[in-house]
Amino acid sequence: MNNSFLGRGWGFPPQFTSPDSGPDMEDGETLVKQAISIALNTLKGERPYWSELGSGLSNFVFEDVSESALVTLKQEVSAVLLNYEPRIILEDISFDMSDVYEGALLIELTYLIRKTNSRSNMVFPFYLAEQSV
């Protein structure tokens, strides 16, 4: 099946195998997963040439893990993916709170890739306290 509509681009984070070969490239579902991660990790206004790209997830870093905060967080993730990742249909967002006392909330995304009807999921780690990954 031809997945050219999913695109081909630099892998993220950018890596160079050799100076002659250029950046490592990704395509298909891998590129979609990387685009989702970039959209959620980018702060609004952070990119000078695409300033509207990004999420407000950083606003939740020191929030209590209450039901209302989780609903608002779910709305934020949903809005970001609806606006910036047109290749997918977001089916579900759930939370794994098993590491919440260690400062991590896992956001579990279930989505369908348009045109291929390929169902996929990914876990996006969201750190509730400022930590380096």
Whether residue 132 lies inside any domain: the answer is: no
51-100 residue pLDDT tens = 888 899 988 888 888 899 999 999 999 999 999 998 899 999 999 999 88
Q: Which domain holds residue 52?
A: 4-127
Residue 119 pLDDT exceeds 90: no
Number of domains in the chain: 1
- Supply the pTM of this predicted model: 0.76
Whether residue 40 lies inside any domain: the answer is: yes
10-32 residue pLDDT tens = 878 888 888 888 888 887 788 88
Q: Specify the pLDDT at position 79.
A: 95
Per-residue buried b or exposed e for 15-36, using 16+ beta carbons within 10 Å of the residue's own CB: eeeeeeeeeeebebbebbbbbb
